[in-house]
């Protein structure tokens, strides 16, 4: 169970309070930072953007350098495509639901071990890559055209200040 307290903070209690998170930030020297997030079951993605980790906040003013998707388990699904983006920390307002990856084709995710890099100007890159964020954001994911029938990925977000 969860609620918003008087300060506007999202608070969990009960069994939800101890849910293990699937993402976090790595310690790195200098201004370059990177976070990693796992989507262990691509079939769980829906048509609406869903927050993938409550504890992984990409901070305001972070300049998004690139997004890397590592295919852990081959992704399948006829015409399936991946959207990655951000929701504001109020959990209801879109920052940009496909701001990192816009309809990333299943063909690029179809081989386990593939590494797909999205930078400004690359195929399927989102509008947030190559820009500084105006607000804090929580990472979201959904499928674009059709559902995935299998797969698992690791997402790495690289940003600087």
Query: How far apart (Å, rounded) are the C-alpha atoms in residues 100 and 138?
Result: 12
Rounded to two decimals, what is the model's pTM?
0.87
| The predicted structure's pLDDT at residue 97 | 98
Residue owning tokens 């906040």: 57
List the structure tokens of 11: 């608070």
**75-113 residue pLDDT tens:** 999 999 999 999 999 999 999 999 999 999 999 999 999
Q: Any residues with CB less than 8 A from the CB of 79 and at least 6 apart, and which?
A: 106, 145, 146
Find the mean pLDDT for residues 53-59. 91
| The predicted structure's pLDDT at residue 43 | 97
């Amino acid at each position: 169970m969860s609620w918003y307290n008087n300060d506007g903070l999202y608070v969990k209690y009960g069994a939800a309070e101890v849910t293990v998170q699937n993402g976090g930030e790595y310690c790195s020297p200098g201004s370059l930072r990177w976070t990693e997030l796992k989507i262990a079951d691509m079939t769980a993605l829906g048509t609406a953007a869903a927050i993938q980790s409550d504890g992984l906040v990409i901070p305001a003013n972070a300049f998004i350098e690139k997004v890397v998707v590592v295919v852990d388990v081959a992704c399948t699904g006829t015409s399936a495509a991946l959207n990655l983006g951000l929701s504001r920390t109020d959990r209801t307002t879109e920052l940009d639901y496909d701001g990192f990856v816009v309809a990333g084709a299943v063909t690029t995710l179809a081989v386990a071990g593939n590494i797909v890099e999205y930078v400004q100007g690359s195929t399927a890159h989102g509008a947030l890559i190559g820009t500084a964020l105006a607000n804090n954001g929580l990472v979201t994911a959904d499928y674009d055209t059709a559902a995935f029938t299998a797969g698992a990925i690791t997402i790495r977000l690289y940003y600087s200040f």
